[in-house]
Chain A
Amino acid sequence: MTDITLPKPRSELGEIFHHLIRDPLGLAGLIIVTLIVASALFAPWIAPYDPIALNIPDRLQSPNPAHLMGSDQLGRDTFSRVIWGGRVALQVALPTIAGAIAVGLILGMIAGYGPKWLDSLIVLFFDTVRSFPTVMFALAVVALVGPSLNTVILVIMVTSIPTYGRVVRTLTQSLKEAEFITAEKSLGASTARIMGIHIVPNVLGPLAVLAAMDIPTVVGLEAGLSFLGMGVKPPTPSWGSLLNDGYNLIRNTPWLIVAGGIPLILTTLGFTFLGEALRDVVDPKLRGKGGK
């Protein structure tokens, strides 16, 4: 009899990655997202110019070998500003979403697993936050405490909590009644153990999908607030302020608005592709279905 060597078992993350890159949509999403993240991380090395250095003689140029995406009304290199703008976008998006997930996960699990009165209270909070139009709420807060990166992060985080919290709550409610939870209880699992070991992994998959899909929204929101002048302060480069400059100068040059719009579109596409592909992959049961 010959020995059959079984493939070495992959870790859970390895398994997800393995299936993700087999999906063309997932691969495309992953490449775009990697590019965006890498360019933001390595902005100081990638950007050919200082994004805030003025160079009036070179102002409002069309794309050319020296300025790949042209330059703005103050002669700043647009390409460098786009790269550095990505940094700002992710600086806002990542802590925002991480914070919203953390708070949403905890509140959602408490609401889903806890007593009825606590559930009602948390849902009331979710609905209250939800009932404000995000941009109006952001404008109000910015008007109160003044525009800054931290204000933007805080406002977007608070308004994103219900998105995650409600999904976690619903999932927890249905998981709570699942027979395997009763089975775990009958084997002596405590509430903390059930929440931490059995509910969290079941909820994390859908949350990861939601988060990937939510990043473009948050990036767009940051760009929108910066466009309105309520986000990051000039001269800090942001895709939103690039768009604003482009909007004002659209009669002089169309390049600025294109340069501010392309990364937003790419971010949206990349993260949405990734989210869609993740959705099919995080559930071990759906993995490898559909002839991929």
Chain B
Amino acid sequence: MAVLDIRDLSVSYATPRGALKALRDVTMKVPEGKITGIVGESGCGKSTLISAIIRLMAPNAKVGSGEVRFKGEDLLSRSEAEMRALRGTEISMVFQDPMQTHNPVLTVGRQMIDIQYRDKLSKADKRKRATEMLALVGIPDPQARLNQYPFEFSGGMRQRIAIAMALMAKPSLLIADEPTTALDATLEVQIIKRLRELQDEIGCSILFISHHLGVIAELCDEVVVMYAGEVVESGTVRDVFHNPAHPYTRALLECDPGHIKVRTRNLPTIPGNIPDLVSLPTGCIFADRCDVRYDACGARPVMATASSGHQAACHLIAEKEPA
């Protein structure tokens, strides 16, 4: 069963120019005990999607339609108080910039004890749990480190502390919003390894957002490719990376510096820009930049199955689809 099951989710932002349709009919699943990656370039709606899942949206955001089913229950129909009870216990989050995710004037220990406010434990017990969590994410000498302020830790350590805080209540779903983007390459590897280990240990599902294809390939079991607010392809990492079905995924993979075999002066890019999300083109969202565009692309494609568990929103796949 999927821990998180998003169906036809549409979110728009009210802007002076009109409604900016940031997400359109997004359908995706996070299977239980798996790591699911979302990949896409900046502005493709990754962050909007997360904020819609945990219902911490910008004031001008509006959910047009759809469902966000968490363990079978639609989160969008929950009250604010019910949502809050869920955050930090069932669904937790790790953010992009570890330098910004801690209160600068409170010690790490104080913050870690404070987020356990829901548990009826003594302060000493809460402190003990905080120490255990810090040890679990690999902070040396956790007992003494609890008395330090966030600025006394390095970026990598702070991100591990953020992960420790997010996993404190052993949530069923951890959402990681580009947790390694602000870190250097060595730390990135460390954090990813640690996330894998913790996921094994705690048995939660992880929704991992990144624009780094290498990280997704390394860490995730399943991947969802997003483009301009739509899901264009989804499937297992193996299928999507070795056998990309959507032209956008193919172009994205060709642009990954890790994939380039021949030395070049210029890195490859996908020509063109993301379409204007206020006045959307009719038909396929990627048609303008697509190198295999043909007559059918004037109509909006639907998700078609390329192979079992591997889908793409492209007319070419739909044509080949075994009826």
Contact string against A for B residues 103-129, beta-carbon threshold 8 Å, 1 for contact and 0 otherwise: 111100000001101100000000000
Contact string against A for B residues 170-184, beta-carbon threshold 8 Å, 1 for contact and 0 otherwise: 000001000000000
A180 shortest CB reach to chain B, Å: 5
Q: How many contacts between A and B, using CB within 8 angstroms?
A: 71
Q: How large is the interface on B (under 10, 10 to 19, 20 to 34, 35 or more residues)?
A: 20 to 34
CB-based contact A187/B93 at 8 Å: yes
Instruction: From B84-92, B214-222, B303-311, give the one contacting chain A.
Output: B84-92
CB-based contact B89/A188 at 8 Å: yes
Asked if B151 CB lies within 8 Å of chain A CBs, one says yes
Chain A residue nearest in CB terms to B101: A183
Residues of B contacting A202 in the complex (Cβ-Cβ under 8 angstroms): 103-105
Chain B residue nearest in CB terms to A115: B59
CB-based contact B105/A187 at 8 Å: no
A173 shortest CB reach to chain B, Å: 14
CB-based contact A188/B105 at 8 Å: no
- Complex interface residues of chain A between 165 and 223 (CB less than 8 A to chain B): 178-180, 182-190, 193, 197-198, 201-202, 205
CB-based contact A185/B87 at 8 Å: yes
CB-based contact A187/B104 at 8 Å: no
Best-buried of A180, A184, A205 by chain B (most CB within 10 Å):
A180
CB-based contact A186/B54 at 8 Å: yes
- Complex interface residues of chain B between 42 and 65 (CB less than 8 A to chain A): 54, 56
Residues of A contacting B162 in the complex (Cβ-Cβ under 8 angstroms): 183
Q: How large is the interface on A (under 10, 10 to 19, 20 to 34, 35 or more residues)?
A: 20 to 34
Asked if B241 CB lies within 8 Å of chain A CBs, one says no
CB-based contact A284/B88 at 8 Å: no
A19 shortest CB reach to chain B, Å: 14
CB-based contact A187/B87 at 8 Å: yes
Residues of B contacting A14 in the complex (Cβ-Cβ under 8 angstroms): none
Contact check: which of B89, B147, B166 meets A9 at CB < 8 Å?
B147
Chain A residue nearest in CB terms to B87: A188
Contact flag A179-B95 (CB < 8 Å), given A185-B87, A187-B88, A284-B149:
yes
11 A-B pairs within 8 Å (CB atoms) are namely: A6-B144, A9-B147, A179-B100, A182-B95, A183-B95, A184-B115, A186-B93, A190-B84, A198-B106, A201-B103, A284-B149
List residues of B whose CB falls within 8 A of some A CB. 54, 56, 84-89, 92-93, 95, 97, 100-106, 114-115, 117-118, 144, 147, 149, 151, 162, 165-166, 175
